[in-house]
Amino acid sequence: MKLIKNKYIKYILLNSLLICFLALIFNYKTKNINEENLVKEVYSNNDEHPKEISEQYTILLENLFDYRNKAILDKNENILKSIYDTDIKFGLWAYEQEVKKMKYLENWSSKQGVKFNDIKAKVRIKKMREREKNLYGIICDVSTEYKYSYENEPNKINMCRIGTYHYLHVKIKDGNYIITKEWYTDPFADSLNLENIKSEDIKNYIINHEEIHPTLTKEQEKAIEYAHRYCGAAADEEYGLKFNPKYKDFNGDGGDCANFASQIMYESGRFKKNCIWNYEKGSATKAWVNAQGFKNYIINSGRGSYIAKGSYEEVYREAYNLRPGDFVGYEKKGRITHVSTVTGLDSKGYPLVTCHNTDRLLVPWDLGWSDKSIRFHLIKVNY
């Protein structure tokens, strides 16, 4: 009981210190800043000094997200709950969603034999306005970087990044920022309410696997560079956190994952367009832009071939044959609904994918796809 109490006190002290720090550096307390005038400046003075104002809010939001990520890392539901207004239903739903995410990450890391060392957020505010006194609506992009290491190699740090697009309401309550509503496409949504894979055999196979150093062609290297540059909110900041403006974003038309996978293949210089697989001036063929059509075309054209397909338990060993430039298709209810391109291997040779919907950079190929009804299609692309 003493240990629990001390841990609780520690979190309270950390919470207090964080609030004090924000208050001193970023005028976190409402009594030290005129929030209403500040938000109006963001909208009315677009050509004067909005950058400095936006940066203040960006830092505040990053601290808020990082505080949430720390609670997820520590598996502390009480700290997590303090970030939300759970007295209203939207705040409660947002909190419950993050609790499910926390438990899913714990389950996946147990299966994988890894520990998440750090989770850090980078925020880009797109728009914000005061909806009512002390309540702000914010649209922002969030790039979340996860660092993990395998339990038998704690000093080898692996990194992956996920980009998400958020609409949230942030309220000032008792001098602090809390979330009252949050909407975004959760990259772990296909796993949150379902039984997760747990097996000591799987874990032991993964953690005892050796690192792989593949020899790549110039076309594979170009494919990797292109994928990492244009994976949107998951990309390195130097690339502008955006898609390639040369191509239409098909998210509004059902999804952009196959479009991006096609771009990666084409921009590698290895594969030419044709009447079946084609993109021109905002228009794309089914084989280019539809996940099922893309998979079928790659296989039927001879540009790719199967490594394996089946449930996770049936294919996870074969997945170690995937190499950069290959891709994974995710089948739900008999159809491929998503595709991701392999662009790297982690310290145990585990394939890492990059994609749109949601934006991913070097993410373990099954992370967020642990629904036992999902079948995986592992496809070798003939570079």
What is the distance between the alpha carbons of residues 99 and 68, in angstroms, rounded to a whole number? 10
DSSP per position, 216-237: --HHHHHHHHHHHHSSGGGS-G
Q: What pLDDT does 177 receive?
A: 83
What is the distance between the alpha carbons of residues 363 and 345, in angstroms, rounded to a whole number? 9
- Which of 120, 132, 102, 10 lies closest to 61, judged by CA? 120
φ and ψ of 131, to 5 deg: -85, -35
Q: Which two tokens stand for residue 41?
A: 């400046």
Q: What pLDDT does 8 receive?
A: 38
Helices (H), the chain: 2-26, 35-44, 50-73, 77-81, 89-112, 200-207, 218-229, 257-267, 286-289, 291-300, 312-315
Say if CB 175 and CB 376 are below 8 A apart: no
Q: What pLDDT does 134 receive?
A: 87
What is the distance between the alpha carbons of residues 71 and 87, in angstroms, rounded to a whole number? 20
- Which of 98, 165, 169, 190 lies closest to 358, judged by CA? 165
Among all chains, which residue has been given the structure tokens 């438990």? Answer: 103
What is the distance between the alpha carbons of residues 364 and 346, in angstroms, rounded to a whole number? 8
Radius of gyration of the chain (CA): 22
What is the distance between the alpha carbons of residues 233 and 236, in angstroms, rounded to a whole number? 8
Return contacts of 354-357, CB within 8 angstroms, 24+ apart.
Answer: 354/227, 354/228, 354/231, 354/234, 355/231, 355/257, 355/260, 355/261, 356/231, 356/232, 356/243, 356/251, 356/255, 356/256, 356/257, 356/259, 356/260, 357/185, 357/251, 357/255, 357/256, 357/257
Q: What pLDDT does 209 receive?
A: 97
CA–CA distances in Å: residue 206 to residues 145, 201, 251, 357, 379: 22, 9, 34, 27, 20
Q: Which two tokens stand for residue 146?
A: 């996860």
Model pTM? Answer: 0.86
Return contacts of 243-248, CB within 8 angstroms, 24+ apart.
Answer: 243/356, 247/279, 248/282, 248/283, 248/284
What is the distance between the alpha carbons of residues 222 and 230, in angstroms, rounded to a whole number? 12
Domains of the chain: 2-199 (3.10.450), 209-381 (3.90.1720)
Q: What pLDDT does 196 receive?
A: 65
Identity of residue 125? I
Q: Which two tokens stand for residue 237?
A: 């900041």
State which residues of the chain have pLDDT below 50.
1-50
